[in-house]
Chains A and B, each alone.
Chain A
Amino acid sequence: MSISVRIPTPLRKLTGGADEVAVEAANIGELIENIEAAYPGLKERLCDDAGEIRRFVNVYVNDEDVRFLDGRTTVLKDGDEVSIVPAIAGGR
């Protein structure tokens, strides 16, 4: 199934400037692999050496952080919207 993925500004160099790309995937792990196949270099920006999503990269499925769903095994269904959002470092 086709999932639309929103790409944040700092990563658009890797998607040829596209702010949104469509990827086939049944879960988040697969989505990351397939996005890497289409746009090489993206995976190392999103995941650490162990393949875990980096701490300051937030991946949302329809506005819910996948950390609070099932992480990389979070199941995707047709029409889901995935957003990649770098965490904003800031503080009081």
Chain B
Amino acid sequence: MNIVRALKCRECGHEYEIEPTHVCEFCFGPLEVVYDYDKLEGIFTRELIESRPQTMWRYKELLPINGEPTVGAQNGFTPLVRARRLEKVLGVKELYIKNDSVCYPTLSFKDRVVSVALSKAVEFGFTTVACASTGNLAGSVAANAAAAGLESYVFIPHNLEQGKVLGAGIFGTKIIGIEGEYDDVNRLCSEVAGKYGWAFVNVNVRPFYAEGSKSLGYEVMEQLGWKAPKHVVVPMASGSLCTKVAKSIKEFIQLGLVEDNGTAIYGAQATGCSPIAKSVKESTDLIHPVHANTIAKSLAIGNPADGYYANRIIRESGGWAEDISDEEVVAAMKLLAETEGIFAETAGGVTLGCAQKMIESGKLPRDESIVLCITGNGLKTQEAVVDAIQKPRIIGASLKEFDALAEADGVK
């Protein structure tokens, strides 16, 4: 059942028909998909959801497409891991990792938003899809477009990690490196979108695209046994994920699928690009754009589109925001890998490192449930840790040489 009502301006409330557009013509505010939830009453139950395949589409009534998805039907439903070893290190009672570093098919949570955006683009009749990206989105658009037989153009900053360039190029997409930062790429893409008539997932179909992030929140609640967590820590680039996790929880409460647990939302950024965290820490809602300088390139958006809304969600929910140095990012990536066997990208290090800092400062309580959202895979950002890990010790293929090494290690 399609319960989408309209696109609605988040600022002035003007409503628009469902079409590929993202900005209010009157006040330039961003448009958001709104729904008639009443129509789902008594129909959209835990039993119905549980009876469906384990993909993000088991919540399809709350995603803005008509009927069945045409792109990315297998995406989503990643593990929620109880992080018992990390609990001991951090000194907390109940900690979970939502592990989107293994999201199908391109190992980041972008596969969620892209499957919604491209399914919608197909509905609208587009045959070419495109995006402005810091890397993960480029790979996801390229892969999902390839699988759906769509043409794609992806625009990235020219200095991205090799793993992300390769992870998009392999799919035969047309990959364009822009001399400049992500914010320059984004500005160019707005102009290209206006001129070429393509579906830019994060420009003209952004209202639909962004809704895909809600599936991460739905999954967390179902995996916790139909319960909203007390605390969620989310990495922030544009700030969109933060707002959509909050929306997912609100929707499940409204539909009677979970009880209101007073969930507090926390945002994580790298200090080298922390305009949202800074605004929260300074108790203002003015976001001062910055020039990004951090190894957490997937979070390096200096002028975050949803910064104001993320700020408001964090402060109204009783959460907080934090930022950490690049050195702390690397240390947290290693900690996550060594305690839980999860190799997250730099953004994952940001999330864990900021959580750690907020636990130590008392902003995150030690005795209530905490969920960390890990949104991308470390194999794509190897440059960040290559000098921080132990190199193999090279020996000859002789037992004698290994015995000497074992003895030096104190192995009996």
Residues of A within 8 A of B (CB): 10, 45, 48, 54-57, 67-68, 86-92
Closest B-chain residue to A92, C-beta based?
A: B237
Give the shortest distance, in Å, between A23 (CB) and chain B (any CB).
21
- From 176 to 229 in chain B, residues with beta carbon under 8 angstroms from any chain A beta carbon are 182, 186-187, 189-190, 202-203, 206, 210
With contacts A90-B190, A90-B203 known, what are 19 further pairs, Cβ within 8 A? A10-B28, A45-B26, A48-B27, A54-B28, A55-B11, A55-B308, A56-B27, A56-B28, A56-B29, A57-B28, A86-B23, A88-B186, A88-B187, A89-B28, A89-B305, A90-B202, A90-B238, A91-B240, A91-B304
Inter-subunit contact B29/A92 (CB<8 Å): no
15 contacts between A and B (CB under 8 A): A10-B25, A48-B12, A54-B11, A55-B29, A56-B23, A56-B29, A56-B30, A86-B28, A89-B22, A90-B132, A90-B206, A92-B134, A92-B136, A92-B182, A92-B240
Query: With an 8 A cutoff between CB atoms, is B137 at the interface?
Result: yes
- From 294 to 309 in chain B, residues with beta carbon under 8 angstroms from any chain A beta carbon are 298, 301, 304-306, 308
Inter-subunit contact B23/A92 (CB<8 Å): no
- Interface class of chain A by DSSP: loop
Distance between Cα atoms of A92 and B292 in the complex (Å):
14
Distance between Cα atoms of A91 and B203 in the complex (Å):
8
Closest A-chain residue to B238, C-beta based?
A: A91
Inter-subunit contact A90/B305 (CB<8 Å): yes
Residues of B with C-beta under 8 A to A86? 23, 28
Residues of B with C-beta under 8 A to A67? 286
Residues of A with C-beta under 8 A to B206? 89-91
Residues of B with C-beta under 8 A to A87? 28, 305
Inter-subunit contact A92/B30 (CB<8 Å): no
Inter-subunit contact A92/B202 (CB<8 Å): yes
Query: With an 8 A cutoff between CB atoms, is B288 at the interface?
Result: yes
Give the shortest distance, in Å, between A21 (CB) and chain B (any CB).
19
| Total contacts A-B at CB 8 Å | 74
Query: With an 8 A cutoff between CB atoms, is B133 at the interface?
Result: yes
Q: Contacts A90-B186, A90-B305: A68 and B11 contacting too (C-beta < 8 A)?
A: no
Inter-subunit contact B137/A89 (CB<8 Å): no
Distance between Cα atoms of A92 and B114 in the complex (Å):
11
Q: Contacts A89-B206, A90-B189, A91-B202: A68 and B301 contacting too (C-beta < 8 A)?
A: no
Most buried by B among A45, A56, A88, A92: A92
Distance between Cα atoms of A67 and B133 in the complex (Å):
28
Distance between Cα atoms of A10 and B186 in the complex (Å):
19
Inter-subunit contact B288/A68 (CB<8 Å): yes
Give the shortest distance, in Å, between A69 (CB) and chain B (any CB).
12
Inter-subunit contact B27/A92 (CB<8 Å): no
A-B pairs, top 7 by smallest CB distance, nearest first, are A91-B238, A56-B28, A86-B28, A91-B305, A90-B186, A89-B30, A92-B237
Distance between Cα atoms of A55 and B136 in the complex (Å):
29
Q: Would you give the 0/1 interface string for B218-258, flagging 1 where the beta carbon is closer than 8 Å to chain A?
A: 00000000000000000001111000000000000000000
Give the shortest distance, in Å, between B189 (CB) and chain A (any CB).
7
Distance between Cα atoms of A83 and B24 in the complex (Å):
20
Residues of B with C-beta under 8 A to A89? 22-23, 28, 30, 206, 305
Residues of B with C-beta under 8 A to A68? 286, 288
Distance between Cα atoms of A67 and B279 in the complex (Å):
14
Inter-subunit contact B298/A92 (CB<8 Å): yes
Residues of B with C-beta under 8 A to A45? 26-27
Q: Contacts A91-B240, A92-B237: A57 and B27 contacting too (C-beta < 8 A)?
A: yes
Closest A-chain residue to B200, C-beta based?
A: A90
Give the shortest distance, in Å, between B255 (CB) and chain A (any CB).
27
Distance between Cα atoms of A90 and B192 in the complex (Å):
13
Residues of A with C-beta under 8 A to B30? 56, 89
Distance between Cα atoms of A20 and B369 in the complex (Å):
56
Residues of B with C-beta under 8 A to A57? 27-28
Most buried by B among A45, A48, A67, A87: A87
Distance between Cα atoms of A55 and B237 in the complex (Å):
19
Residues of B with C-beta under 8 A to A92? 132-134, 136-137, 182, 202, 237-238, 240, 298, 301
Residues of A with C-beta under 8 A to B27? 45, 48, 54, 56-57
Closest B-chain residue to A54, C-beta based?
A: B27
Q: Would you give the 0/1 interface string for B299-332, flagging 1 where the beta carbon is closer than 8 Å to chain A?
A: 0010011101000000000000000000000000
